[in-house]
Structure 1
């Protein structure tokens, strides 16, 4: 199992690579447990400011492993709920609620649970020929990992309905046009483009990034009145902190701030 997931740290960026290319990086409960553990470990690592998730080989992830899907048919509803909530939804939650920015480097198909994991990330850098597909409807089921909450907010209800209710594939350029991809590049340029994207984020003030991520997430769920109160409180704390002082000094000295 250890070889199924590759992790490394470079220039304050933690990289998590799904390494099951022979099965298109499909997910099992045990595999997603290791993904959760890797995300949580990077969240606690002071040397990591940004987390990148990607797939080895031709796919980001094809979703649920075929063997696991077969096993589901033999489980009771309670067993299914426990397994899906603990591991599949658990992995998506670990990514979405992580205090550090997360980036999906979508190198190929992101299907089913693979699509949901990519959508749970804060940013998506996408290879032009890659695609997103919420394929659940073709199995007679629905996306259970948060995509039905997040997709309408990312791309609008109409486009989300196409993906969730029709199983429409969304390729790189279209993903960028509708707001699902933050950047689209040719496949051979994905690794470098993702590295530059992540390292640029890693140079930002880490506390401000964390609070900004939390504020954006809260904005999906909260009221405007509540957000004003939170934003003013958080801003007053940041204005009184060392990162803002360094930014002002750097601006005066005409140099890049070092956070």
Structure 2
């Protein structure tokens, strides 16, 4: 993929396509090759990705390829925290997510939505039914904590790790200490329901119920838990 991307920078038809995209978009003004377009994604992710996805929906494979290139750092990090799937699995899932993305229905948080769609697709194909249901958003937070960015440069948007989310939840009193320790065992340490049950002196069914209830509470306060630093009581 690196060789293909490098070759596209000197490709005549690719250059003409970039100029065509730039003619209709202020955010892409002056872009003359795919790497120029990629550089603009970090400035206005939803606008630029949405513009490219609209072209991709009309059969423009180069537009889809630029979107894929923008999401590659995310793809690599998701694969890095997944012991059951490879980078190729995530690349294929992301390509399909780009092709099928419902832009009219989901015009905002495009990068995050594409990543979540790809993650869910890989889990459906590669993962057995889990004995503890893990929120896909928690996996994405773990991937975001790895070095790199959602799109573009390494200093762009990065989310908190699972451990940081749980620490914030404890400090906001959204979970009690025992539940926080249980969630850490399952979502940070990666224990199965049975292993977590043995560690915490619970039944596997109790682990599932407590995790499910707690994740619903955390999901209801996602914006609070994602905010860095202040406001803790």
TM score, norm. by length of structure 1? 0.23
Q: Which has the higher helix share?
A: 2
Higher strand share: 1
Q: Give the structure with higher Rg (CA).
A: 2
TM-score, L = length of structure 2: 0.25
